[in-house]
Structure 1
């Protein structure tokens, strides 16, 4: 039964991201800021750190594909970026300590890299024509603030859940 908590949580976060965007008004601050919830990929980062790198990459691949199929017109951007982000995160964490504050900080950095990578891909295929300074002011910084709040609220519960998941994998 413990093995089903991780896919259920990640599926819930996948759905909750779209609900969050629907329920939180876009003009909340009347400045045209875009807040992009990246709760799912942050959870995949924590799974990669406290659970298993293999499971983090697999779930990154699966949910990247789902993300592309549901939210974007082009299959491949998130399919490529989610596992790549999880892999880069695991590379950082091999060098750094596994302290929850360090994991949270590196998660924010990897969310910024994910956002910048998706922006560059959209710029490359002419989906957007926004310059990087406008992108960082309108989308990147508000996204990082929103996701930092999510990390502050959920880092410890995610750590505990994925440590239990890792223990159940070792015991089976």
Structure 2
């Protein structure tokens, strides 16, 4: 039964993101602001930090592909960026101590990389015409603030859950 808790948690966060987008008040951060919840990706980064690189990258690839299939008309952007950023976070964490404050900062850094990476991919294939400064003001800052609040709220429970999962993996 415990084997299924982690995939179910990620599936729940995957679905929660779409529900949040639908029911989030449009003027929460001001008119014309765009907020992108990255609950799933934040949890994937916490998994990488507190459990390990291998599981983090595997789950990142699976859910990146699922994210592309369900939400994005271009297959490969999230399938490429989720595991890549997860790998970079695992390399960063090799030099840092895994505590909740560092996990918060590194996860926000990962979300920032994801946002900029998706924006640059869209610019590269001419999906968006938004200039970089408009992107920063209209989407980047509100997204980081929103996801920082999410990480502050659920960071500690995620940390505890993933530490228990890592301990269970070591006992096997």
Short-chain TM bin: over 0.9
Whole-Å separation in 1 of the counterparts to 2:28 and 2:98: 36
Gaps of 5+ in 1: none
TM-score, normalised via structure 1 length: 0.97
Shift of 1:30: 3.9
1:36-55 correspondence to structure 2 within 5 Å: 36-55=36-55
The offset of 1:91, in angstroms, is 0.9
Give matches, 1:41-80, under 5 Å. Answer: 41-80=41-80
Q: How many residues align?
A: 172
Other structure's SS at 1:126 match: coil
Contact 1:2–1:168, Cα closer than 8 Å, also in 2: no
Report the equivalent of 2:104. 104
Matched, 1:94 2:60: no
Residues 73-104 of structure 1: per-residue CA shift (max 9 Å, x gap): 11000000000111011111111121210110
| Residue aligned with 2:94, SS | helix
Extract unaligned runs of 5+ from structure 2. none
User: 2:152 & 2:126 partners in 1: Cα distance?
Assistant: 35
Superposed structure 1 runs of 4+ greater than 3 Å apart: none
Q: CA deviation at 1:29?
A: 4.0
Q: Distance in 2 between matches of 1:86 and 1:50?
A: 12
Mapped partners of 1:94, 1:29: distance in 2: 36
Q: SS at the partner of 1:45?
A: helix
54-63 or 27-36, larger mean C-alpha shift = 27-36
Matched, 1:14 2:14: yes
Give distance in 2, aligned partners of 1:19 and 1:110. Answer: 22
More displaced, 67-76 or 90-99?
Answer: 90-99
Structure 1: how far apart are the matches of 2:33 and 2:43?
Answer: 24
Quote the residue 1:169 is aligned against.
169
Looking at structure 1, the residues matched to 29 and 93 of structure 2 have their Cα atoms a distance apart, in angstroms, of 35
CA distance in 1, matches of 2:30, 2:92: 37
